[in-house]
Amino acid sequence: MAKVLGRVISKKCSEGLWKGIKIADGVNPLCHLQFVDDTFLAGDASAREARVIRRTLDDYEQAFGQRVNWFKSEIFFFNTEPTKQREICRILGMRLGNLLSKYLGIPLFGGANKTDLWKNLVDSCLSKLDG
């Protein structure tokens, strides 16, 4: 089912309904990434885009009977006014995420010191190997 969701998102992007985020010149915009049963959605920080994303997720839930875990869902912003952030969070029904969040034990965003960024994960793996 996740592949179907990915195809629907890709179609909306190719039709220009969902802008996604521009990564580089000459490269299609990033609209989503999927890993196992998790989906990362990327979009323009606009109410219009948020409505497209919300309708897409609602349609998916209705068509396939699978539910988005809104409790676990978070949204992250970059260079976006707080007023616009609140509006988009309200439209999507998601809470504002913290840039210090982790995914599968790995920090989502880190500073310049990569040693500190990976230390906990390396230490955790080493302790499992010692056991």
Q: pTM of the predicted model, to two decimals?
A: 0.73
Do 39 and 2 touch, CB atoms closer than 8 A? yes
**For tokens 């982790």, what's the residue?**
102
Q: Which residue has the tokens 């323009």?
A: 44
pLDDT digits (tens, 9 = 90+) for 60-112: 899 988 888 888 888 888 889 999 999 999 999 998 987 666 666 666 665 55
Rg of the chain, C-alpha, whole Å? 17
For residues 101 and 8, the model is more confident at 8
Which bin fits 54, alpha (ψ -120 to 50), beta or left (φ > 0)? alpha
Q: Which residue has the higher pLDDT, 27 or 18?
A: 18
Which tokens sit at 131?
């056991």
| pLDDT at residue 50 greater than cutoff 70 | yes
* pLDDT the model gives residue 82: 93
**What does the pLDDT average to over 41-64?**
92
Tokens 């080493």 -> residue: 126
Give the model's confidence band at 12: pLDDT under 50 very low, under 70 low, under 90 confident, else very high.
Answer: very high
Instruction: Give the separation between CA 51 and CA 91, rounded to whole angstroms.
Output: 7
